[in-house]
């Protein structure tokens, strides 16, 4: 495995982990969870298990035209929209044990104050330019149209429902003037162009250092990150933008919902959502720091802090070009060390589509599969779209649960604990003379946690999970090969050794699976009667002491029936037919 060492790259003293703020205008689906929140949570949990100083930051993105658009359609206020979806999404995160240290809101007073302060600081430094441009205007509604209020044909892929800021089919970032045959989503009319004034971030002035920083990991002759550790799609998308020539990017909009521009003669202007949303990471950190008696600046301004942004590929340029420009202009802030953006998750061979209701919603999964949160975390990590788009199918979901979690992991744990109770009254037996198979199995037990660590620290969560499951397979095979149930009447000392080793594997399984499946970790710890185990304990063949008493075995994973899968496929079919 590739390791990058540079005397200028310090070992981090603390970690700031951000997960892209979900828009509070709709429910979370499996694509959101697989692409952003589960991998970020795995990384955060792993680091905390290693005793690292970590803040895992997220919150609801509660501004922008997408929210006002939904409010207009439903005939309610934007505040009612964001209140509803902030609560609903937070409940899904909590149920799935996505363990943010802080989950804030960009509509909060603290965030408005932070964003306004930083806007004024940038304005004072001359970081913006102000210019008059033409913008689409709906004469029927008598208002300028924000990007999301305009749809038309995408100039890149010809999709006829592209938005003014982005095509959701091909992922291209657009401007309203690029759309072919634009229409107002408010009236359905063709809008006209009128003059308006806005503030812009002149990205073209930053091309040189951005290119050096992204492609070489260098800034001001310092090595800040290893570009070989960045994903190809991230480097590729950044290079494509820079090679095409960066252009000024508007950071204000004509809207009545958002953070008002804190300057004179700026009535009716608010900060563009992609200016204020990333600042939400900073304002949320401030809130957390105040509540936990920490210094928030340590997590954003110290060179020995590692900043990592988790997001999907449609948000790459905002976190690798636009937000870094803002951070660099604000003296003293660190830049991201990595941006492990994922590709997209498809559903049953088709692209997820909220407009067609072709999605599996987090809230529906939790209703239909209560107490199976870890199964979803496991499956979504197993198929995470780390380097290319991947596909979720209900059939594969069932197979991974039944054939891997239930038949391998669950079966091994159950047999180990049941046999320990049957033969030794639930007391951990001692290890006696070790055979070659014992030594080989212990060697693998010692090695696998380090392999998992290496993959997690390279943001290769699928490979890390595969290694964790490999340990369960090793345990399962060890019991099958040694067959203690055949030896108990003739060689009890041999059975003591076999079950001791099987129990040590079980204890390590609880630790290495904790970042991926936190509920399973707790259940295993309860069964093994252990607590406060950390990553450094994983792989220890003497973790459970001789004579330690364990509790009774419980079924970890239930098999999923064919009828349950058919119900989900029928539901998908009905949901699209009803539109």
What does the radius of gyration of the chain's CA atoms come to, in whole angstroms?
26
Which stretch of DSSP H or E encloses residue 14?
strand 14-19
Running along the chain, 579 residues long, what does each successive block of 10 average in pLDDT? 42 96 96 98 98 98 88 92 98 98 98 98 97 92 85 95 88 90 94 95 98 96 95 96 95 93 93 96 98 98 97 96 98 96 97 90 98 98 98 98 98 98 98 98 98 98 98 98 97 98 98 98 98 97 98 97 98 77
The Cα–Cα gap between 152 and 528 comes to 60
Dump pLDDT digits (tens) for 205-238. 999 999 999 999 999 999 999 999 999 999 999 9
Nearest to 445 by CA among 378, 500, 515: 500
Residue owning tokens 């209900």 = 394
Helix then strand then coil, in percent of the chain rounded to 5, is 50, 15, 35
Percentage of the residues of the chain whose pLDDT score is greater than 90: 89
Residue 393: the pLDDT is 98
- The tokens describing 489, both together, are 């009447």
Query: How far apart (Å, rounded) are the C-alpha atoms in residues 179 and 10?
Result: 46
CA distance 68 to 71: 5
Alpha carbon 545 to its chain's center: 37
What does the pLDDT read at residue 1?
Answer: 31
User: Nearest-CA neighbor of 272 among 115, 418, 383, 74?
Assistant: 115
pLDDT of residue 9: 53
What pTM was estimated for this model as a whole? 0.93
Tokens read off for 128: 């913006």
Write the CA distances from 196 to 133, 145, 192, 467, integer angstroms: 6, 11, 12, 56
If you write DSSP's letter for every residue of 58-99 in order, what string do you get?
Answer: EEEB--SHHHHHHHHHHTS-HHHHHHHHHHHHHHHHHHTT--
The answer to whether residues 460 and 452 touch, using CB atoms and an 8 Å cutoff, is no
């Amino acid at each position: 495995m590739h390791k990058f060492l540079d005397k200028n790259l310090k070992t981090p003293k603390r970690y700031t982990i951000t997960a892209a703020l979900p828009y509070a205008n709709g429910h979370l689906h499996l694509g959101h969870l697989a692409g952003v929140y589960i991998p970020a949570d795995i990384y955060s949990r792993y680091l905390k298990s290693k005793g690292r100083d970590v803040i895992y930051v997220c919150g609801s993105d509660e501004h922008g035209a997408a929210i006002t658009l939904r409010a207009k359609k439903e005939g309610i206020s934007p505040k009612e929209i964001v209140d509803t979806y902030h609560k609903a999404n937070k409940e899904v995160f909590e149920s799935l044990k996505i363990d943010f240290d802080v989950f804030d809101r960009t509509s909060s007073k603290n965030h408005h104050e932070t964003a306004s302060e930083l806007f004024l600081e940038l304005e004072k430094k001359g970081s913006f330019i102000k210019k008059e441009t033409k913008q689409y205007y709906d004469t029927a509604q008598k208002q300028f149209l924000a990007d999301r209020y305009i749809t038309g044909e995408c100039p890149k892929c010809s999709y006829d429902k592209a938005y003014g800021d982005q095509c959701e089919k091909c992922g291209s970032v657009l401007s309203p003037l690029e759309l072919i045959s634009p229409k107002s989503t408010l009236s359905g009319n063709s809008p006209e162009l009128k003059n308006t004034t806005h503030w812009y971030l002149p990205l073209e002035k930053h091309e040189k250092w951005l290119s050096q920083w992204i492609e070489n990991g260098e800034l001001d002759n310092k090595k800040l990150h290893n570009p070989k550790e960045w994903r190809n799609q991230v480097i590729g998308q950044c290079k494509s933008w820079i090679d095409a020539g960066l252009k000024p990017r508007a950071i204000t909009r004509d809207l009545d919902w958002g953070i008002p521009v804190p300057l004179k003669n700026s009535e009716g202007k608010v900060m563009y959502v992609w200016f204020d949303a990333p600042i939400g990471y900073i304002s949320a950190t401030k809130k957390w720091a105040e509540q936990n008696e920490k210094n928030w600046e340590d997590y954003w301004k110290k060179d020995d802090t590692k900043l990592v942004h988790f997001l999907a590929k449609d948000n790459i340029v905002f976190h690798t070009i636009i937000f870094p420009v803002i951070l660099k202009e604000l003296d003293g802030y660190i830049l991201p060390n990595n941006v492990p953006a994922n590709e997209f998750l498809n559903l049953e061979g088709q692209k997820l589509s909220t407009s067609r209701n072709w999605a599996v919603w987090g809230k529906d999964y939790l209703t239909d599969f209560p107490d199976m949160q870890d199964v979803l975390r496991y499956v979504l990590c197993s198929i995470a779209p780390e380097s290319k788009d991947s596909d979720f199918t209900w059939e594969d979901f069932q197979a991974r649960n039944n054939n891997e979690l239930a038949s391998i992991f669950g079966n091994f744990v159950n047999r180990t604990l049941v046999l320990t109770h049957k033969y030794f009254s639930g007391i951990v037996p001692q290890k006696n003379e070790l055979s070659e198979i014992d030594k080989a199995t212990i060697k693998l037990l010692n090695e696998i946690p380090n392999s998992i660590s290496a993959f997690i620290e390279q943001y290769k969560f699928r490979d890390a999970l595969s290694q964790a499951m490999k340990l369960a397979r090793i345990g399962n095979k060890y019991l099958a090969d040694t067959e203690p149930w055949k030896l108990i009447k003739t060689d009890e000392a041999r059975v003591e050794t076999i079950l001791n080793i099987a129990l040590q594997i079980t204890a390590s399984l609880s630790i290495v699976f904790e970042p991926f499946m936190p509920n399973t970790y707790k259940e295993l710890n309860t069964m093994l009667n252990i607590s406060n185990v950390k990553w450094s304990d994983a792989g220890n063949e003497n973790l459970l002491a001789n004579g330690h008493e364990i509790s009774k075995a419980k079924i970890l994973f239930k098999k999923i029936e064919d009828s349950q899968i058919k119900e989900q496929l029928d539901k998908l079919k009905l949901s699209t037919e009803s539109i």
